[in-house]
Amino acid sequence: MMGQIVVGIDGSRDSEAALFWAAKEARLRGDRLVILYAVHTPVTAVPFGGASVLPPTAELKTYGENLLEVATSLVTTEDAPLEVATELVVQPPVPALLAASRTADLVVVGSRGLGAVGAAFLGSVSTRVASRAACPTIVIRPDAAEYRTTGPIVVGIDGPQSDAAFRFAVEEAQRRGTTVDAVHTYWLPVVAMPIEGTNITGTSETYARRTAEEHMDEFMARNQHVVPAQVKVTTQVLLNDSADALSQLSETAALVVVGSRGRGAFRGMLLGSVSQRLLHRANGPVAVVHNGDAADEPTDAERAQP
């Protein structure tokens, strides 16, 4: 049965990079590519009342139809056949993409859209979709959007919440005929008052590394059954910040995969700090994968917001 990859576009350079990446992934998988454009208008205040969303104008709908037509032509070639469908959705982008994620195998978005303010902030659409989509989300930065079939699939490991991310990494490695590099990082505990004449730093580092290695061994023992014989998995335990380590490895990776939240995050609300920082810094595409299988319902505010 043919799968489905959904890519959200808005006419920005970021979404163009996401479009081309999604098309290549769809060809590799033999999936249908669905190009989605959400038509929406800003919230307007009603005198002496609440807020409401005006219906899109005919010009906005025409713009969306033209954008989808151009996008289709960009990824459709006789030399590389691809089944393409388009969707013009009268809805803000976040709820539109969350709804599409329920039946998709993958959602692909650019890191920033037309509404982003400069390069300092990650687009709110990409972060909100990545944190709550029902399927894995790929976030593409236009300056690091190369589609690679070589290089390992790097996956960040942070306990049981990384199980789904690891399975996804293994599947992607099998498709590309490459390896998986599972990475777990640790940090040294802060020692407020070292005791004179003792090697507290050395002792704490030895303990921290041993603990981290035990966590990695436990993780691999629990997940070894999902690794087919043709996929080689290597492991790394690094003394480093997780986002920094994964960002460095992304320079030569085919893809970096992380879970949606790490330790300490509130479930269902935000991307974990590692995932969010990595989306800013990565030198290649990043996949955000949830352990759950259902998207959160959009809030009333999100239904109204762009």
Q: What is the pLDDT of residue 265?
A: 34
| pLDDT tens, residue by residue, 278-288 | 888 899 999 99
- Provide φ and ψ at 289, rounded to 5°: -125, 135
Least confident range from 87-91, 188-192, 249-253: namely 188-192
Instruction: Reply yes or no on whether the pLDDT at 22 is more than 80.
Output: yes
Looking at residues 179-193, what average pLDDT do you find? 81
Instruction: Reply yes or no on whether the pLDDT at 122 is more than 70.
Output: no
- Provide φ and ψ at 195, rounded to 5°: -90, 130
199 pLDDT band, cuts 50/70/90, is low
Instruction: Reply yes or no on whether the pLDDT at 50 is more than 70.
Output: no
Of all residues in the chain, what percent carry a pLDDT higher than 70? Answer: 78
Least confident range from 18-32, 44-58, 77-91: namely 44-58
| pLDDT tens, residue by residue, 55-111 | 777 888 899 999 999 999 999 987 778 999 999 998 889 999 999 999 999 999 998
Q: What is the pLDDT of residue 299?
A: 53
Domains and CATH numbers, the chain: 1-142 (3.40.50.620), 148-284 (3.40.50.620)
The larger pLDDT score, comparing residue 201 to residue 208, is at 208
Looking at residues 229-237, what average pLDDT do you find? 97
Q: What is the pLDDT of residue 53?
A: 63
* DSSP letter string, the chain: ---EEEEE--SSHHHHHHHHHHHHHHHHHTPEEEEEEEE---EEEPTTS-EEEPPPPHHHHHHHHHHHHHHHHHH--SSS---EEEEEEES-HHHHHHHHHTT-SEEEEESS-TT--SSSS--HHHHHHHHH-SS-EEEE-GGG----SSS-EEEE--SGGGHHHHHHHHHHHHHHT--EEEEEEE-PPP-SSPPTT--HHHHHHHHHHHHHHHHHHHHHHHHGGG--TT--EEEEEEES-HHHHHHHHTTT-SEEEEES--TTPPTTTS--HHHHHHHHH-SS-EEEE-SS-SPPPPPHHHHH--
The structure's pTM equals 0.84
Q: What is the pLDDT of residue 271?
A: 56
201 pLDDT band, cuts 50/70/90, is low
Instruction: Reply yes or no on whether the pLDDT at 262 is more than 80.
Output: no
The larger pLDDT score, comparing residue 281 to residue 48, is at 281
Q: What is the pLDDT of residue 83?
A: 96
Instruction: Reply yes or no on whether the pLDDT at 121 is more than 50.
Output: no
Of all residues in the chain, what percent carry a pLDDT higher than 90? Answer: 56
Q: What is the C-alpha end-to-end distance of the chain, expressed in Å? A: 34
Looking at residues 4-25, what average pLDDT do you find? 94
